[in-house]
Amino acid sequence: MSFRAAVLVIAHHQPEVFAALVDSLRHPSIDVYVHIDAKADLASFEAVVPESDGVTYLRDRRSVNWGGLSVVHVILRLIEHARSSRNEYQRYALLSGSDLMIAPIEEVLAAWQSSTEFIRVDWRLTGPGAQRAHLVDRRHFPDDRSPLRARLSGRIPRKVDPTIELYQGSTWWALTAGAVDQVTGFIAEHPRWLDFHRHTLCSDEIVFHSILKAAPHARRIVQDVEQCADVDAFIADPVHALHHIDWSDRTALSPRVLGIDDEPTLRASRALFARKVDTTSTALIDAFAVNSDSLR
């Protein structure tokens, strides 16, 4: 069976940056499935990346809110759409429209053809040694932007669903088809567990991670804080699964936007992608030529 990967892209702005990412992913073994936030103009994205054999846009779009279960629902829709195609995928990779590929496509494909689950687990949220419990043991309203809900968000205690222990890590991952099956199978069997996360903050950083930690594929997770010797060094590592992400400002809500001055660091990184970039990162994006053998 020939290898094939489904790349799931979530985007909401800056079509030019999105186009650079999609161009770098063009390969016979890769199909790209895209969700554009319902608040954004889909036509502006289709103008720079027309739908083709290798690129499919979801037409049933929804409004995505930072930290909300809406993000998880979009990811699950992308998975479902990819599965509904006639292609059998061995790897599913979740990317942001603000990502930059910094490795040759052959290196990316080689990593994806391994049995490793490229996902990073940073924190235990429940059980012994739990931290950041407020993300789950308080009622949040990330998908309800009304002033009243905003004032109440994080103030109301609640009982945590005990079905499995909860963990948090980086949103962006690249999972084998078997791991994705474990996630979607668990959700199908425990719909109320997923519904619990309507009032979780940053459920996109929790749902997949928690299910995989409770599943047989947990031993294949590439970065698991519970398996590391030095927790401080683990948390400080800018490589999140396959992404180089600068979270040097730990108080920020978003990682630092990368620029041309970061090129030497990215070329030396063991990561295959970097985030995030935007329209101010044009020189950096141009420095990493599309599908180039000289990316490193």
Q: Tell me: pLDDT of 196 over 90.
A: yes
pLDDT band at 250; cut points 50, 70, 90: confident
pLDDT, tens digit (0-9, with 9 covering 90-100), for 131-152: 999 999 999 999 998 898 888 9
Please indicate, yes or no, if residue 263 is contained in any of the structural domains: no
Least confident piece of the model among 80-84, 148-152, 153-157, 218-222: 148-152
What is the C-alpha separation between 202 and 210, in angstroms, rounded? 13
Strands (E) across the chain are located at 5-11, 30-36, 55-57, 91-96, 100-101, 117-124, 138-139, 156-157, 167-169, 174-176, 221-224, 239-240, 243-245, 273-275
pLDDT band at 289; cut points 50, 70, 90: confident
Please indicate, yes or no, if residue 249 is contained in any of the structural domains: no
pLDDT, tens digit (0-9, with 9 covering 90-100), for 41-85: 999 999 999 999 899 999 999 999 999 999 999 999 999 999 999
Is residue 222 within 8 Å of residue 241, measured between CB atoms?
Answer: yes
- What is the CB neighbour count within 10 angstroms for residue 173? 27
- Which CATH number goes with the domain that contains 43? 3.90.550
Please indicate, yes or no, if residue 40 is contained in any of the structural domains: yes
Over range 268-273, report the average pLDDT: 98
Tell me what pLDDT residue 57 has.
Answer: 98
pLDDT band at 264; cut points 50, 70, 90: very high
Please indicate, yes or no, if residue 108 is contained in any of the structural domains: yes
Q: What is the mean pLDDT of the chain?
A: 96
Tell me what pLDDT residue 145 has.
Answer: 84
List of residues 6+ apart from 159 with CB closer than 8 A: 137
Please indicate, yes or no, if residue 280 is contained in any of the structural domains: no
Exposure of 118 by Cβ count < 10 A (0-12 exposed, 13-18 middle, 19+ buried)?
buried
- DSSP, residue by residue, 162-210: -SS--EEE-S--EEEHHHHHHHHHHHHH-HHHHHHGGGSTTGGGTHHHH
What is the C-alpha separation between 103 and 292, in angstroms, rounded? 8
Please indicate, yes or no, if residue 18 is contained in any of the structural domains: yes
Tell me what pLDDT residue 84 has.
Answer: 96
Q: Tell me: pLDDT of 290 over 60.
A: no
Tell me what pLDDT residue 127 has.
Answer: 96
Paired strand residues for 21: none
Is residue 283 within 8 Å of residue 261, measured between CB atoms?
Answer: no
> What percent of the chain stands above pLDDT 70?
97
- What is the CB neighbour count within 10 angstroms for residue 248? 10
Tell me what pLDDT residue 295 has.
Answer: 52
Please indicate, yes or no, if residue 136 is contained in any of the structural domains: yes
Over range 258-270, report the average pLDDT: 97
Is residue 133 within 8 Å of residue 188, measured between CB atoms?
Answer: no
Distance from the first to the final alpha carbon of the chain: 30
Domain range holding 68? 5-232
pLDDT, tens digit (0-9, with 9 covering 90-100), for 33-51: 999 999 999 999 999 999 9
What is the number of domains present in the chain? 1
Place of tokens 């619990």: 196
pLDDT band at 252; cut points 50, 70, 90: confident
pLDDT band at 294; cut points 50, 70, 90: very low
Q: Tell me: pLDDT of 95 over 60.
A: yes
Please indicate, yes or no, if residue 35 is contained in any of the structural domains: yes
